[in-house]
Each structure stands twice: as structure tokens, then as C-alpha cells.
Structure 1
Amino acid sequence: MSVAELADLRAELALLKAERDIQRLQTAYGYYVDKAQWDEAADLFARDATLEIAARGQFRGQDRIRAYLHALPPLEQGTVFNHMQLQPLVTVAPDGASARGRWRAIMEVGFVGREELCGEAVYENAYVVEDGVWKIARLHCFVTYYVRWNEGWSHGGVPMGTPLPGMIPDAPQTVAYGSFPDVFIPPYHYPNPVTGRVWTKENQA
């Protein structure tokens, strides 16, 4: 094996390791959120990270993200929170110190005697190596539909953008969009892997 071939193998191994570590990071986030373990989830974010969920605006910095998470409902008797994160596509930057990732989340949320919800969301996230480990640099959750089980899709979706009590965002949402019944395709961070074409609203046909 030549020196060049060995270098190529090392680069490929580093890429695969980065993808694996990022997938473990994002998967861990999902499990913590399901069990309302907000501090464990917040610890996964970089110090200057940003968070946007369900069109509620942008929250900046790990401390603000921690406060946002703690403002969410607690896990207690009669509640269910499930966020199944699927279809990961991770793109690591050439320098190996940053990356982007796209995920699909299937959501189930329930409160006994009050409400039962299901939905789907797409994450377009960014990741960075900080203090020697991968962390979430930007979490952007585009909720594409969110409906009440007992009503079904024919009644339309639950409106997005409902603020959390006492949590004023640090900035408006960076992408204006509507969830079901509106049609919105969250922007892809990557080009088509075959054609190389970058998807936009103008060329979506």
C-alpha cells in the first residue's frame, strides 16, 4: 500500500467516524427530549449554538437553549413524548471540524384527558467540534404537519408559532413557512448526489 493510499484510507476512516459520532449525538438528543431530560439535552449544544423549533423564533446560546427546553412540559403521569429521528443524511466539511445534517422526526405527544397529537418534522442542523467533541451548533426543526389524532388530517393542522410562556425569542425565525395544510419543503443543505443540482423553489419541478 502506497503512502497516498494509506492517507486516503485514514481520511475515509475519519469521515466515517465523524458521521457516526454526529449520528450518536443527534440520537442522544432525541432520547433525552422524549424523557424531558432537559439538562442532558442542553449539554449537547455548543456554547454559541442556536435553536429554532416549530416557528417559535430563534434562541441563541446554550444557556438560552437550556431555558427554552425547561419551559417545555414535564414528563409526568399521563404524558407521552416520542420523537423518532429517522433518515439521517450527514455531510462533513472537508476540514472535519463542522458538518450539516438532515433528519426526519415522527412525533407523538399525548396528555391524558386533554390532547393527543401526532406530527412530522424535518431537522436541518449544523454541528461543530468544540472542546474536542462534536456538539450541535444549530438545531432547526421545521414542523411540516402537526394534527390532533381525534380530529385527523381533514380538520387541518395545529398552528405553529405558539410561544412558550415566559420565553421571548432572541430573534425572529430565520425561515418563514407554514405547516400542513400549507405545503413547505424545508431547504436541503446538500446538492442532489447524482446530478449535483441544488434544489430551490424555482427548480422543484
Structure 2
Amino acid sequence: MMPEMDPNATARLEALENRVGELEDMNAIRRLHWAYGYYIDFNRPDDVAELFARDGVVVFLSGEYHGHAGVKRLYGDWIAGRFTQGRPGPVDGLVLDHFQMQDIITIAPDRQSAKGRFRGMLLGGWHDSVIDRKPDFMPQQFWEAGIYENDYVREDGAWKIKRLDYMMQWQGDYETGLAHTVAHLQPAAVLYPEDPLGPDVILPAEQVRQTWPHRQDVPMHFAHPRFGALLAGQEPR
């Protein structure tokens, strides 16, 4: 006859298993977001889309791009179309490197959804030998930084991006620096399909994000580690 397990030991074991599961979820989401950074570096919109839930959303320049079709339109037609004429990268003479860092990930108690905050930095530019490929509205070399406040969901057993919300913080031309730069990217104004590259939805006027040199807060989804929601900036969404 097997001895009965101590109820306290059973509870501790269950708590430990749950904590290990949360840590595995955090690493999976971190890997998911870092993979996103590499795929957008090399203009691979189909691979980017597969990181999103079927009803996933990207928020970019105050516009929402919905579903896999919207994700491919943004990262393929809009971004890859401008930077590489639609070709997958890397391409000679172009740098488009996105650094993803400073992640804070919060797993929901049921471990079916999560939120993540990341800082992104972008270094972009065209070599003199391919300067004819540069869009007219962009500087030849530039820096950019922004903050993500994202939602993730477990779909068919795998973590996917539910809502990727990127708020640009600044842009700086390499030659003149951010002190003398007005962002070359501005909020969306025309919807798809009137604009073939446009978003499916434009954020309400009070939520439109003006770009550098304007600064806007990006509320944090997480509570202060010591003082809790009192100093969190907002209650968790």
C-alpha cells in the first residue's frame, strides 16, 4: 500500500510545476518576439504572419492591420516594397536591423494569454552603391526607437502574437542626429483599400500617436514590483 502524500507537499509540488510552466511560457514568448525581430530584419512577411494568431493585429503609425492579410500587407507590400522592392532579404547595400530588448513578460493565471513590453531599436540605411533604391521620403541613414506593449495568446498549443502595438519614440537622421530630425514616418491617414498599403482601421483621434519630436507615454501593463498597481500607471488591461 502506497503511503499518502502530504497535502502540503502536494500543494508545493503543484505550485512548483505551475511556476516552471510560467517560466517556460515566458521563454517561449521571448523567443517568439525575438524571431519576429529577425524576420522583419530580412523582409520575410510570410514568416512574420505565421507568428500571429489568426485574428492577430498590428498597430503601426496609428493604424491597425488585421489578420494575416493585414500583417502581410504591412510587412510585405508596405515595408518590403519600400526597402527591397518586395524581395526577401538580406539584400546588398541595405541595413535594416531591429534590436529587441528589455522585455517584461506577464503570464495570465490560466497560462492561455500574456502581455509583453519590449524596447525596439532600428538601424537603417542604404550604401552609396544602391542609393537609387532609397525611397525619396527617407534619409539615407537613420536610427529609430520605439516601445511595444503586446498581447499574446496560446493558439493550437503554441504561443502567437495577438496584438503587436508599436509606439515609435523617436527617429534620428544619422548625419544630423535626433536633435535636428522630424520623423520621416507620420500617422496613417487613408484606409485600405482606398490606399492599397493602408491600415484596416485608424485609431480614434484622441489615440493617434504623433511622431518625433512629440513624446507620448506608453502605459505599462505591469504593476510596480514593490508598490503594485498604485504606481503602475494603469490597471492591467
> What residue ranges of structure 1 are gaps of 5+ in the alignment?
201-205
Q: Which residue of 2 aligns with 1:135?
A: 160
Equivalent residue number for residue 186 of structure 2: 160
Aligned residues: CA RMSD? 1.8
Amino acid at match of 1:152: G
- The one-letter amino acid of 2:118's match is W
SS of residue matched to 2:201 = coil
Instruction: Give the CA deviation at 1:81.
Output: 0.5
Which shows bigger deviation, 191-200 or 157-166?
A: 157-166
Q: Give runs of ≥4 in structure 1 deviating > 4 Å.
A: 162-165
Report what 1:53 is aligned to.
Answer: 60
What is aligned with 2:213?
Answer: 181
* 2:202 maps to 1:172: yes
SS of the residue corresponding to residue 84 of structure 1 reads strand
Structure 1 residue 39: Cα displacement: 1.0
Of 119, 124, 134 in structure 2, the residue corresponding to residue 104 of structure 1 is: 119
Give 1:38 deviation, angstroms.
Answer: 1.4
Given that 2:188 and 2:199 are in contact with CA atoms closer than 8 Å, whether structure 1 keeps it comes out as: no
The one-letter code of the counterpart of 1:87 is Q
Give 1:187 deviation, angstroms: 1.4
User: TM-score if structure 2 supplies the norm length?
Assistant: 0.79
Displacement after TM superposition at 1:157 (Å): 2.7
Task: Determine the structure 2 residue equivalent to 1:62.
Answer: 68
Give the AA of the match of 1:97.
Q
Q: Structure 1: which amino acid aligns with 2:220?
A: Y
Structure 2 portions without partners, runs of 5+: 1-5, 135-139
Of 159-168 and 101-110, deviating more is 159-168
- Per mean C-alpha deviation after superposition, the further-off stretch among 124-133 and 160-169 is 160-169
Aligned residues: 199
Instruction: Measure, in 2, the Cα distance between the counterparts of 1:172 and 1:161.
Output: 9
CA distance in 2, matches of 1:125, 1:110: 27
Which position in structure 2 is the counterpart of 1:203? none
Is structure 2 residue 43 aligned with structure 1 residue 43? no
For residues 178 and 188 of structure 2, the distance between their equivalents in structure 1, rounded to whole angstroms, comes to: 20
Structure of higher CA gyration radius? 2
Q: How does 1:90-101 map to 2 (within 5 A)?
A: 90-101=105-116
Work out which of the residue numbers 81, 87, 91 in structure 1 matches 2:102: 87
Q: How far apart are residue 162 of structure 1 and its match?
A: 5.5
User: TM-score with structure 1 length normalisation?
Assistant: 0.90
Structure 2 CA distance, aligned partners of 1:15 and 1:184? 32
